[in-house]
């Protein structure tokens, strides 16, 4: 099969700063009705001494420019987005309809509680649903992303330990954990201790025991791990950590593989974050807004951020009076629109539908695993959960083509590249997550593209090494881009 090139990708577009002409504008503004004033009078040295250098373009130029750029972009509404670990699944449009209901859309967080009863009821119900799904006692909806949730969870662990008169500093982190985990520990003043994954691809209980001592505050364990496998010993590991006086934090970014099948709270997990954009189909791309609620056991409930939403009789209210709370995490009460979308999805799916979603996510990952294993070696022999991790080891040895080359060539076939070179413990990793929303036909087409790239690598390796071949912008010098970023436009001459 040969990839087709959409006509709109055949040419580049100049930057918007290079279009238009001096004095050109697409805005119709009234004449200024106030006297001009020298900015330096108000701002002193902070005043701009030169023009703002904004683009001067007509409305049609601006519209065509950004429409053209949007057609160069990729989106989940266009095709499969196999980014492993990121879980780029389709966002049902019914969620968008729900979030755009005027009663939700026109709310302001500073309204009196008496006028926010519907919103508070939704937040209270969403918290209850997330707790039921995870086996936890309470949750906060405030965190704006998974990493923000990690920060919150570790803050609660630190506060709970201090409340017990303890100040241990070590957090154990498996080498198969998400990369944000060590950063979150550092921000909380903890020291990280890396724990190696066993030969079977999961964490060994004895390895955790050997790493524990009186200075152990807890463990951050990603389950399923970034190898795409289930940590089968998590309950035993939790017992070890608890015996050492620590807490178990589970990175719940991959909860979409566990819905209705496994409740972390039942296995001894004390605190976890839940990525609504990964598991509950709220928008992910474009930088957010994300949402990373954090669920906790009863022991950590006193330390939840303020305010919490409480139900008193048939009314709802914010509770700011929480003496052991870690405080407010962000302005207002969370990314409200994302909460509405997630709640709509949970209500639409129900318990049976959520469990089915997890089954399909695991089925799709293992289907790709079976279809691709002969040409792309597997990172582990254990069955996959939500994602499968492959390696470029065989292809690189035989043809010199790397994971990066495969990823770039997939663009020519109309696919967003998968995650590459992560997890770091797998050399030349290709991490692929199909999610539950992709059909068998879509998966077969993707397998066909991956197989075609292998054949191209054997017959014409330079074609693959030079990919993408059919995009408006060819492969960039990524090292130069990182070291010499172009952050602002300056007119030549």
Cα–Cα separations (whole angstroms), residue 33 to 29, 30, 377:
11, 8, 70
Prediction pTM value: 0.89
* pLDDT interval class at 6 (50, 70, 90): low
State the helix-helix crossing angle for 117-134 and 336-372, rounded to 10 degrees: 30
Contacts of residue 131, defined as CB under 8 A and 6 or more positions apart, other chains included, come to 137, 138, 139, 295
Read off the pLDDT of each residue in 142-161 and give the average, rounded to a whole number. Answer: 96
- Give me the pLDDT at residue 292, please: 94
pLDDT at site 491: 60
User: What confidence score (pLDDT) does residue 129 get?
Assistant: 98
Q: How far is CA 85 from the centre of its chain?
A: 8
pLDDT > 80? residue 9: no
* Ranges in the chain annotated CATH 3.40.640.10: 94-348
Model pLDDT, residue 49: 81
Q: Does the bond joining 307 to the residue before it have cis omega, within 30 degrees of 0?
A: yes
Average the pLDDT over each of 266-275, 282-291, 346-355, 443-452 and give the range with the smallest value. 282-291
Q: What digits encode the pLDDT tens for the residues 70-96?
A: 888 888 889 999 999 889 999 999 999
pLDDT digits (tens, 9 = 90+) for 227-256: 999 999 999 999 999 999 999 999 999 999
Q: Check: CB of residue 143 under 8 Å from CB of residue 328.
A: no
Q: What is the pLDDT of residue 2?
A: 52
CA distance 399 to 375: 12
Q: Determine what percent of the chain is predicted with pLDDT higher than 90.
A: 80
Q: Which helix (H) or strand (E) segment is 173 a member of? A: strand 170-174
Q: What is the mean pLDDT of residues 44-59?
A: 88
In the three-class reduction of DSSP (H, G, I as helix; E, B as strand; rest coil), residue 420 is classed as strand
| pLDDT above 90 (res 141) | yes
Pairing label, strands 216-222, 138-140: unpaired
Rounded Cα gap, residues 41 and 179, in angstroms: 48
Which pLDDT does position 75 carry in this prediction?
A: 87
> pLDDT for 414-436, tens place per residue?
999 999 999 999 999 999 999 99
Class of domain 94-348: alpha beta
pLDDT the model gives residue 288 = 61
At 190-218, the pLDDT tens digits run: 999 999 999 889 999 999 999 999 999 99
319 confidence band (pLDDT: 50, 70, 90): very high
Would you state the pLDDT for residue 493? 47
CATH 3.90.1150.10 location in the chain: 359-481
Q: What are phi and psi of 260, to 5 degrees?
A: 75, 0
- In the structure encoding, which two tokens stand for residue 209, read together? 């025991």
State the Cα–Cα distance between residues 410 and 421, nearest whole angstrom: 16
Q: Would you place residue 142 in the very low, low, confident or very high pLDDT band (cuts 50, 70, 90)?
A: very high
Q: Is the pLDDT of residue 391 over 70?
A: yes
How high does pLDDT run on average in the chain? 92
Q: Is the peptide bond before 366 cis (omega within 30 degrees of 0)?
A: no
Q: Is the pLDDT of residue 16 over 60?
A: yes
CATH architecture observed for domain 359-481: Alpha-Beta Complex (3.90)
Q: Which residue has the higher pLDDT, 69 or 129?
A: 129
Distance between CA atoms of residues 130 and 71, nearest Å: 37
pLDDT for the residue 287 = 55
Over residues 330-337, the mean pLDDT reads 90
- With bands split at pLDDT 50, 70 and 90, how would you rate the model's confidence at 53? confident
Identify the pLDDT of residue 8: 47
Average pLDDT over residues 362-391: 96
Both tokens of 273, joined, read 């974050």
């Amino acid at each position: 099969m040969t990839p087709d090139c959409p006509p709109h990708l055949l040419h580049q577009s100049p930057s918007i700063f290079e279009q238009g002409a001096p004095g050109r504008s697409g805005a119709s503004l009234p004449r200024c009705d106030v006297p001009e004033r020298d900015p330096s009078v108000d701002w002193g040295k902070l005043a701009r001494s030169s023009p703002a250098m904004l683009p001067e373009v007509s409305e049609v130029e601006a519209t065509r420019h950004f429409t053209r750029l949007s057609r160069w972009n990729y989106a989940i509404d266009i095709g499969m987005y196999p980014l492993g670990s990121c879980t780029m699944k389709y966002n049902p449009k019914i969620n968008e309809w729900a979030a755009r209901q005027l009663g939700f859309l026109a709310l302001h967080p500073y309204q009196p509680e008496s006028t926010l009863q519907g919103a508070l009821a939704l937040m209270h119900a969403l918290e209850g649903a997330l707790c039921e799904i995870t086996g936890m006692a309470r949750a906060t909806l405030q965190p704006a992303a998974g990493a923000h949730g990690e920060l919150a969870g570790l803050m609660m662990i630190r506060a709970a330990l201090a409340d017990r008169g303890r100040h241990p500093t070590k957090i154990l982190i498996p080498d198969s954990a998400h990369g944000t985990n060590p950063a979150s520990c550092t921000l909380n003043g903890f020291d990280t201790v890396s724990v190696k994954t066993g030969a079977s691809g999961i964490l060994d209980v004895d390895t955790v025991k050997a790493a524990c001592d009186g200075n152990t505050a807890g463990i951050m364990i990603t389950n399923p791990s970034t190898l795409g496998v289930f940590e089968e010993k998590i309950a035993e590991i939790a017992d070890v950590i608890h015996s050492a006086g620590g807490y178990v934090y589970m990175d719940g970014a991959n909860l979409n593989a566990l819905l209705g099948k496994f409740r972390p709270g039942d296995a001894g997990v004390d605190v976890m974050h839940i990525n609504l954009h990964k598991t509950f189909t709220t928008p992910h791309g474009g930088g957010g807004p994300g949402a990373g609620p954090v669920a906790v056991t009863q022991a950590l409930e006193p330390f939840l951020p303020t305010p919490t939403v409480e139900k008193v009789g048939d009314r709802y209210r914010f509770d700011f009076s929480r003496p052991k709370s870690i405080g407010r995490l962000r302005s207002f009460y969370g990314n409200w629109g994302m909460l509405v979308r997630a709640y709509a999805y949970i209500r639409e799916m129900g318990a049976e539908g959520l469990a089915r979603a997890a089954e399909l996510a695991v089925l799709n990952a293992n289907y790709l695993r079976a279809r691709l294993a002969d040409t792309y070696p597997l990172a582990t022999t254990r069955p996959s959960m939500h994602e499968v991790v492959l390696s470029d080891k065989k292809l690189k040895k035989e043809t010199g083509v790397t994971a990066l080359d495969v990823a770039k060539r997939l663009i020519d076939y109309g696919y967003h590249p998968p995650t590459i070179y992560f997890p770091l413990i797998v050399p030349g990793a290709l991490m692929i997550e199909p999610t539950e929303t992709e059909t068998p036909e879509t998966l077969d087409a993707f397998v066909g593209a991956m197989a075609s790239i292998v054949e191209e690598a054997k017959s014409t390796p330079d074609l693959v090494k030079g990919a993408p071949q059919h995009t408006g912008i060819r492969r960039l010098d990524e090292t130069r881009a990182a070291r010499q970023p172009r952050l602002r436009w300056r007119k030549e001459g």
